[in-house]
Amino acid sequence: MTDLVYSFDAVKYRLGTLCKRGHQFFDTGKSLRRNSTFSPACLQCEKERYTKNQQSIEKINQRKEWRAKNQDKIKAYKKEYRNELQKKGLTQRGTKRLKGGPVSALQKAILNAGKLPTVARLVMKEQFRYWKENPGTKALHDRQWKQASWWLKYQTRPDLRLYTREKSKHRKAVLKGATAVRVSTQQINERFLLFKNCCAYCGQNDDMQIEHAVPIAQGGTHAIGNILPACKTCNYSKRDKEIETWYRSQPFFTESKWNKIRRTLGWAGGAVNQLAMI
């Protein structure tokens, strides 16, 4: 055997470890592989894989050609197959599912029933039947569902929270005999935006409450000129105290914030208790 038989392009190929299928390059005990880090495959394995793929492609093409030329035979076979199923009282889907065993009367009934209702639909049907026989339970369920739905909206919609809180503040002011003007949600939002939706006193970014600068108990009015955003802590701490005295006693008091509060309420050029009605 000459050296020419063993020669190969050393740039493209190399002798590597023997592959799993035992393809030796002559009697070297090694496989001829591609000289590549990403695809160091055995050349003989690649050749066999390519040949197998080509054979599969040829079989698929032959099958397609046969089906294209024998459409009438295929239709006749399908028709005969459906007729056999009808004689047995089965469907094509049912035959596949029950293949290999006898078909009971229950299985036939299920197969002929068509599309069956889901478990959820059966549960709802039973629930509606129970409510129809027990109208009191249905009324209780509706009340509880309405309360739960409203509470969910209250927790997720800031505009609804402001509307509800303003309505409550207005009602309490009327009960105490104070002057009360209905304040729209838009007006409250604009007032809160002046403080970047933060507490006018401490500056915390929390769930803002409607705070009356001059308390209703001290003669304050429920109007936009007497409303500030306040966190729950500051609102409960201030209560019915005089605003300047209370605010100056707090550790977070600053002159700049106090001046901004006075300008917002229209107190910059007058007395502290001078309230704007609009």
Q: Does one domain contain both 206 and 242?
A: yes
Residues 6+ apart with CB under 8 A from 274: 266, 267
How many Å apart are CA 167 and CA 224, to the nearest integer? 13
Q: Does one domain contain both 93 and 17?
A: no
Number of neighbouring beta carbons within 10 Å of residue 51: 10
Q: What is the pLDDT of residue 97?
A: 46
Q: Does one domain contain both 63 and 75?
A: no
Q: Does one domain contain both 173 and 196?
A: yes
Whether residue 233 is contained in a domain is answered as yes
Q: What is the pLDDT of residue 272?
A: 47
Q: What is the pLDDT of residue 96?
A: 46
How many Å apart are CA 102 and CA 48, to the nearest integer? 46
Q: Does one domain contain both 149 and 176?
A: no
Q: Does one domain contain both 60 and 74?
A: no
How many Å apart are CA 58 and CA 80, to the nearest integer? 30
Token match 């809160």: residue?
Answer: 192
pLDDT digits (tens, 9 = 90+) for 202-213: 999 888 999 999
Q: Does one domain contain both 205 and 143?
A: no
Whether residue 277 is contained in a domain is answered as no
Whether residue 272 is contained in a domain is answered as no
Q: What is the pLDDT of residue 277?
A: 40
Q: Does one domain contain both 258 and 173?
A: yes
Q: What is the pLDDT of residue 166?
A: 92
Whether residue 172 is contained in a domain is answered as yes
Q: What is the pLDDT of residue 4?
A: 41
Whether residue 276 is contained in a domain is answered as no
Structure tokens belonging to residue 49: 């894989």
Q: What is the pLDDT of residue 98?
A: 46
Q: Does one domain contain both 167 and 255?
A: yes
- Residue 32's nearest CA partner among 49, 14, 48 is 14
Amino acid in position 201? Y
Structural domain containing residue 80: 70-112
How many Å apart are CA 222 and CA 164, to the nearest integer? 14
Q: What is the pLDDT of residue 126?
A: 94
Total domains in the fold of the chain: 4
The ranges of the chain with pLDDT < 70 are 1-6, 88-104, 268-278
